[in-house]
């Protein structure tokens, strides 16, 4: 796609050819995303910068106007900070309570505790589909059913699931789901929020500006402005959007679909099983954190080597051209449960191979011997 060379213009703003071409591509990207996650309609897809912005959008546009003192929001201790902090900010304004579902020692969600935490006071359940630290996959269909049975809405952070497995919002029956382009071969600064149409219709805008309004009428008589919001999803897309980003995300999805999401999941399961087995037996000083059951998780391997901080491990691996993350991974509460000051985290995607895992293990052995 050569957008900047031959189609570059703003969308929804002009009648000229380039703008029409840009608009067509941008809206085609929305349709592609809707189809990819099986949304009913492309108007259920809001373009955002990424998952974090999507959580904030729902927190400010829905939470700020619908959550009040006495209400409860249920999250979990395995959430990324971006699915904790926005709710905490809004709760400080509106005075509702946030309940934290516990996590078991192996990093899996404590479903019994979830059922204890949820009640008729719960107005929203906001959980990740896959933990960005442990790779644990949550049974969202089951959790959404429990949430709905209590009259609550269900928000899902799909940042770690949508890129790695088939995700069907209709089948999961979730009310909102968010994901980021940069985790699925797309560029940074683009992502999507799925929201059921009737919720998006009822929600207030997130930011003000161009495109999100239909009419700004100044009355000479009252000297006031009367504003009509645009329809969703444009109501939530103030200002010039990341047009090239949306088109690039569409191309990334086209690429993933050519491989097939079930195939991608299968490949990652194979790598996860292989890495779990080999890492467990490779070094005496290496500890794998979280569940070792590859069926319960995605291709994320949190680990540590005694005598080395996670940053030491990451810098050492970097010397060999192996790049992993180190630190809290924006999930401090989960590290508290694991009683870890931080963790090293290797992760896999479609481009990784068993041979790369073998090389990774070789280097880990060398590190252990240092």
Partner 1 sequence: MVTVEDYVARIEETCGEEKGAIVTLKYNKKDEAIAKILKKAKLKKSFSGIIFELNFQGISFRIFSSGKAIFKGVKTKESLRDVLAALLL
H or E element: which one contains 304? strand 300-305
Which of 294, 243, 281, 262 has its CA nearest to residue 361? 281
Q: Which stretch binds partner 1 (CB under 8 A): 49-57, 271-279, 308-316, 345-353?
A: 308-316
Least distance from C-beta 355 to partner 1, angstroms? 23
Question: Judged by CB, which is closer to partner 1: 122, or 310?
Answer: 310
Question: Judged by CB, which is closer to partner 1: 62, or 308?
Answer: 308
* Binding residue for partner 1, selected from 68, 116, 311, 365, defined by CB under 8 A: 311
Catalytic residue among 244, 283, 330, 369: 330
DSSP conformation class of 160:
T
Contact 133, 300 (CB under 8 A): yes
Site string for partner 1, 143-162 (x = CB under 8 A): --------------------
- The number of residues that bind partner 1 (CB under 8 A) is 16
* Torsion, CA 250, CA 251, CA 256, CA 259, rounded to 10: 140
Contact 47, 122 (CB under 8 A): no
Dist. CA 219–CA 224, nearest whole Å: 6
Contact 249, 29 (CB under 8 A): yes
Site string for partner 1, 312-351 (x = CB under 8 A): x--xx-xx------xxxx-----x-----xx---------
Question: Judged by CB, which is closer to partner 1: 294, or 329?
Answer: 329
State how far the alpha carbon of 118 is from the alpha carbons of 66, 126, 147, 151, in Å. 18, 12, 7, 10
Least distance from C-beta 187 to partner 1, angstroms? 23
Least distance from C-beta 307 to partner 1, angstroms? 10
Dist. CA 50–CA 160, nearest whole Å: 12
Question: Judged by CB, which is closer to partner 1: 162, or 313?
Answer: 313
Dist. CA 283–CA 341, nearest whole Å: 21
202 binds partner 1 (CB under 8 A): no
Annotation says 369 is catalytic: no
- Return the active site residues: 330
Residues within the interface to partner 1 (CB under 8 A)? 309-312, 315-316, 318-319, 326-329, 335, 341-342, 370
């Amino acid at each position: 796609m050569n957008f900047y060379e031959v189609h570059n213009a703003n969308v929804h703003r002009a009648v000229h050819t380039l703008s029409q071409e840009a608009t067509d591509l941008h809206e085609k990207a929305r349709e592609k995303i809707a189809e990819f996650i099986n949304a009913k309609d492309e108007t259920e897809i809001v373009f955002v910068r990424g998952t974090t912005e999507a959580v904030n959008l729902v927190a400010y546009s829905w939470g700020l106007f619908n959550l009040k003192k006495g209400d409860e929001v249920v999250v979990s201790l395995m959430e990324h900070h971006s699915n904790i902090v926005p709710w905490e900010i809004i709760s400080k304004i509106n005075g509702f309570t946030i309940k934290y579902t516990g996590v078991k020692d192996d990093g899996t969600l404590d479903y019994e505790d979830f059922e204890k935490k949820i009640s008729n006071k719960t107005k929203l359940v906001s959980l990740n589909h896959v933990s960005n630290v442990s790779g644990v996959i949550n049974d969202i269909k089951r959790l959404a059913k429990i949430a709905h049975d209590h009259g609550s809405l269900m928000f899902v952070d799909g940042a770690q699931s949508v890129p790695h497995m088939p995700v069907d919002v209709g089948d999961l029956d979730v009310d909102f789901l968010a994901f980021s382009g940069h985790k699925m071969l797309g560029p940074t600064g683009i992502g999507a929020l799925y929201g059921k149409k009737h919720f998006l219709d009822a929600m207030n805008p997130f930011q003000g500006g161009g495109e999100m309004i239909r009419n700004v009428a100044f009355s000479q008589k009252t000297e006031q402005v009367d504003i009509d919001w645009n329809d969703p999803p444009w109501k939530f897309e103030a200002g010039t959007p990341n047009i090239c980003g949306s088109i690039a995300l569409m191309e990334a999805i086209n690429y993933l679909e050519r491989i097939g999401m079930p195939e991608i999941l299968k490949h990652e399961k194979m790598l996860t099983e292989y890495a779990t087995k080999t890492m467990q037996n490779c070094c005496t000083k290496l500890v794998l954190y979280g569940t070792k059951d590859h069926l319960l998780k995605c291709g994320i391997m949190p680990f540590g080597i005694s005598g080395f901080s996670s940053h030491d491990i990451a810098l050492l691996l970097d010397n060999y051209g192996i790049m992993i993350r180190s630190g809290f991974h924006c999930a401090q509460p989960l590290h508290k449960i694991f009683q870890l000051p931080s963790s090293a985290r290797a992760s896999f995607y479609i481009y990784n191979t068993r041979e790369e895992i073998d090389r990774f293990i070789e280097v880990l052995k060398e590190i252990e011997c240092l």
